[in-house]
Structure 1
Amino acid sequence: MDKRLGALGCALALSLLAASPAHASVIWDGDASGGTAVFSSLLCDAPGSVTAQDNHDGRGPVFKFNKPLGLKRCEAHGITVGGARYTFHENATYWIGWDTSTNTPDAGTIFQWKSYGTNDQNQQNYPVLMKVEGGELKLFHILPGEEWTLKWSTPVATSTYKRVVLGIHTSSDASAGRVEAYYNGRKVADFTGRTWDDLGNDTRFGSYGEEVTDARVINWIDGLKVGTAYGDVA
């Protein structure tokens, strides 16, 4: 065989390998048919509640996060895989997808990429956070020192499901961390920055915030998934 053809074939194979998508897999399927055991813990004091409920709209069971007036939070913290809490790691890429529908245009914080530890144990309490407030869905990046930056927002209707997908590459290096966001299948944000705190991070879904003082908040959540590629969770 001509050595030049052999070298060309080798180069072409390496090029195709580099262009191939990385191995993808679904890490977690948080379908509500599995009940609240799909979460590692619930942060929702009585009379608040987290339940799997069929609203007879064709979706089957969905999670209902019920945060009554005066309650600070009603959230699910972390995910369970194989009967144990799943541990996220630094220098990895995670895709998180879910449908959300709130009963009020001021539902507070509906998602946190939450750091472990308290007070001086963490530098970045919630590097990535989403809110529904003032009739808008908002995506924030929060740096150490509580430096908030609004990265994207859009008007949203109440009692209407929206598909949210976040891709988070975890890094404590501000130049290496990255976040991509998709809304109903359309890419709406892509930015770099620190996304990993000293003691690690985890997911929180539901409703959080004392700023909502005049209404009960209900957040219906469906189609929860975590994977290693966009296609796993879209």
Structure 2
Amino acid sequence: MMASLFSSFDPSTSFSMSLNWLSSFIGLVLIPSAFWIIPPRGLFFWNKILSTLHKEFKILMASSKMNGSTILFVSLFSFILFNNFLGLFPYIFTSTSHLSLTLALALPLWLSFMIYGWINNTVHMLAHLVPQGTPPALMPFMVCIETISNVIRPGTLAVRLTANMIAGHLLLTLLGNTGNSLSIYLVNLLIITQLALLTLESAVSIIQAYVFAVLSTLYSSEVS
């Protein structure tokens, strides 16, 4: 029972050969048309969202040394949001529910921040290991704690996104599998519940994409 329940999150084949992962690139097919077709209202609305995110990320970074980096984080938000929403459609593979994708996004970002910070701002990075006002006796322990919290950052980023995507989809799957054994009245109640959960999952998809991008922005601001 459990094997069949979690089979919907199984790519079935290897990462390099599975066609399921092609769902992450469907958006690339839709992009070229936006350059020659008259932009619809939806595109203006989307551009407004991206502009707002750009301004917010720029405030969070608060550094002139990282000019243009907001484009990276806005693109990251767009990619995660697209894949989160894509997974809400039936029979479409949810790529963001797998650590292989979320770690592939979080780990290179974190590594690049660490390499840049330790090479260009070594004193600043060392100062971050000891919070201001720490008693001298506690400094060794604080260095260990801050180092561990820094090392696990890519893991927490990846696991947070994966766990939230799996949790909602798993609940929808569990409720959907009970529909065959219910009466007509309970089926109607089940449909209403499923619609409510689908609305909640849509909100979670937006929030998790935003959280991933904001935390990545905050991590980058600490090294500059």
- In the superposition, the TM-score normalised over structure 1's length comes to 0.25
- In the superposition, the TM-score normalised over structure 2's length comes to 0.26
Flag the structure with more relative contact order, 1 or 2, with Cα contacts below 8 A and sequence separation at least 6. Answer: 2
Query: Which structure is larger by alpha-carbon Rg, 1 or 2?
Result: 2
Q: Please identify which structure carries the higher strand content.
A: 1
